[in-house]
Every structure is written in structure tokens, then in C-alpha cells.
Homo-oligomer: A and B are copies of this chain.
Amino acid sequence: MDLPCRTAAPRESLRERRRRETRDELHAAALRLSRELGFEQVTVEMISEEAGVSPRTFFNYFPSKESALLTWPASFTPEARARFLAAPARDTRSVLRDVGELFASYLEASPPRRDEVEEVFRIAERTPSVLAAVLAGFDALERELGALVAERTGRGTGDRTADLVSGVSMAAVRVAMRRWAQDHGCEQPAPEFVRESFALLKDLTSPLEEAATASS
């Protein structure tokens, strides 16, 4: 392994903590109001009032009511990016493995709440603007990751293999998160779902899998 499994939480300044708390409060208010009234009925004004801030402050944190609902996926921390870029292996197999660890440690550093993620996926199913925001969030992360993979592997930005590694990784993350959100029975944490998804990825194109399936 090139990457350590856990990210040490960096020390937070008072200002950073206040920002995080306001952001969390706006997110919680958006979810609470959507649950009570239905997402379509909720406005930025209502979310701001519920959280005790002005709409102007709201827009310092989120560009729209959809984005307040979705605090995940966000982007990687500078430390995680640096660690990913510093790892020596440049072949796609190792890079894919490290991308899996990048996501797993991201989820370990800021664990999402299963009931919230499930609720957001459920709202997205019936609200096109929320589905669009979810997809746009994943798309933005896919581009960020594509640039990281291009840099790590010494390829130019927009390189086809780098884009493919990034797209394939995001598919693995999306499948893992959807499954984790729906998995009420067991208490397996989200990073384990991500690791399993990346392990499965490795076998998808393996000729060995062909033989195993043919004999089953």
C-alpha cells in the first residue's frame, strides 16, 4: 500500500469551526424542512431563517437550496491530494487501488450519516433538480480526480486513460454509496463498501473470473 488507511484530523481554528458549524446547521435545516414540507416547497429564505442566518450568509456557503441538501460528495483535502500525488506507482492498477484508498480515507475522516445519504438519494429519485445536483457533484469530483490521476501518472490533463481511471473509480464509488445507504441490516461502515467496490472492479475484466463463472 502506498497510502496510509487513516487521515489524521487536522487541528481546526475557531473560525474554521464556526464556518463548519454554520454549514452543518444550514444543511440540517434544509433536510429538516424538506422532510416536513417536501423539498419543492422549501426556499432559501426558509432554510436561512430556520438556521438563524440571513439569505446573504446562506449564499456564502451554498449556491442553491439543492446544494445545501448535498454536503456529499465534496472535494479532497489538500493533504489527501498531496499524499495521493506523492505515491510512486504510476501504473493504472496501482493508481486505481490508491484512488479507492483516497475515497475510503476521505469517508473515514468525515463519515457521512447513512440515514441522511439515503434520504437525499430518495429525494433525488423524485426531484429532477436534486438528481441533477447529485450528478453534477459526482461529475465535478470526477473531473478533479481525472486531473489528479493525470498528474500522478505523468499524463496530460484530459488524457484518455486518466479520464477512464477517474470515470471507472466514480462508478465504483457511486455503486458503493448507493448500496451502503440502502443497507439497513448491517453496520458495515461506508469505507468498507468503497473498498469492496474497488476490489470487485479489479475482477471485472479478469480472465480468471471467466473460468470461475463458467464452472459455477
Contacts and interface: CB of A to CB of B under 8 A. Distances in A.
Interface of A: 89-94, 96, 128-129, 131-133, 135-136, 139, 160-161, 163-165, 167-168, 170-172, 174-175, 178-179, 197, 200-207, 209-210, 212-214
A48 B136 CA distance: 29
Contacts of A93: 204-207, 209-210
B200 A160 contact: yes
Nearest to A162: B175
Contacts of A205: 92-93, 96, 201-202, 204-206
A200 to B, nearest CB: 6
A139 B167 CA distance: 13
Nearest to A95: B204
Contact of A136 (B128, B160, B214): B128
Contact of A90 (B135, B207, B213): B213
Contacts of A132: 128-129, 132-133, 135-136
A195 to B, nearest CB: 13
Contact of A164 (B89, B92, B200): B200
A210 B92 CA distance: 7
A211 B131 CA distance: 41
Given A165-B204, A171-B171, A197 B160 contact: yes
Contacts of A214: 91
A214 B94 CA distance: 11
Contacts of A91: 209-210, 212-214
Contact of A135 (B135, B175, B178, B179): B135
A112 B197 CA distance: 33
A27 B185 CA distance: 47
Nearest to A203: B92
